[in-house]
Amino acid sequence: MHESLELRRVLDLEPMGEDTFRGPAMDSDVFARTFGGHIAGQAISAATATVEDDKQVHSLHSYFLRPGVADEDTTYTVTRLKDGRSFSTRRVEAWQGDTLCYSMIASFHHTGDSGPEHANPMPDVPAPETLQVPSSIPSGVPGAERDYREWDIRIASDGPTPNDASTVSGRSLWFKYKYDLPDQDAFHACALTYMSDMTLLFSALAAHPGYKAQLASLDHAVWFFRPVRVNEWLLYHQSSPSAASGRALAQGQIFDASGNLLAFVAQEGLTRELQAGETQVPVRRS
């Protein structure tokens, strides 16, 4: 399969009946468990397929309940909780066989409202064109570059940016998808959800160089403020305000290259001390 088709392949769900969809498995030689962004991106794609075109997702809140198997397809069931004039709400459950892996509630808002506007400014970081493409990405998954090969990811700052009092641990990175994608707001929101889980929890370890921790996403939330295009440069400003008791909170602000705040991401994850012989994220054994 040509590499430029992979993101579109995983977000192209197969209808299986009323409000039920099948999401294809990962194409991975590395992951033993389904990547969280993969399952979240497919879940919001399933929810979007049941909502009228005049409404766009503005928020999602979800929990990772049990690990999914990376090389197995996932079934998504959508429950229509609300369809109002301004908002629609959907619950999505992700199943592998009889195992409930993931649960999401997503809300969609019609595009006709207006009101006051403000946003946090984008941090002052080097432009992506001035940065080198790193040989590895800060994900905690050895060899993950193969799975993320369709994305151009460049570290802009490794640690809090100047005058940033919001974090003691964090980093900023630029990313964009390398290939053409449909010019559709809904598709790019699903693609951003996929990407939003990539590298985020690992930012909690930026203040602890060399510390080995078991990493796993526990929950995931995204608020969408403005339309996004993931095949244009986006800055992911990540920070972790607290880590304790083997868990860490990570958050991220996503800006476009013009400085517009497009989305906000929040996630709590497991950062438990790694046991001898284990990897930070479960990987396939050779």
Catalytic residues, by residue number, are: 197, 217, 267
Q: What is the C-alpha to C-alpha distance for residues 128 and 32, in angstroms, rounded to an integer? A: 32
189 CA to centre of own chain:
10
Distance separating alpha carbons of residues 10 and 24, to the nearest angstrom? 6
**Residue 263 amino acid letter:** A
Using a 10 angstrom Cβ sphere, with 0-12 exposed, 13-18 middle and 19 or more buried, the burial of residue 82 is exposed
**What CA–CA distance (Å, rounded) separates 90 from 97?**
22
Q: How far apart are CA 12 and CA 22, in angstroms?
A: 9
Tokens standing for residue 28: 């991975």
Q: How far apart are CA 276 and CA 88, in angstroms?
A: 47
CA 114 to chain centre: 27
Residue 176 tokens, joined: 């964009």
Q: Is 234 exposed, middle or buried (0-12, 13-18, 19+ CB in 10 A)?
A: buried
Distance of CA 84 to CAs 79, 81, 89, 239, Å? 15, 10, 9, 36
Sign of CA dihedral 156, 162, 164, 170: positive
- Residue whose entry in the numeric block shows the structure tokens 């392949």: 9
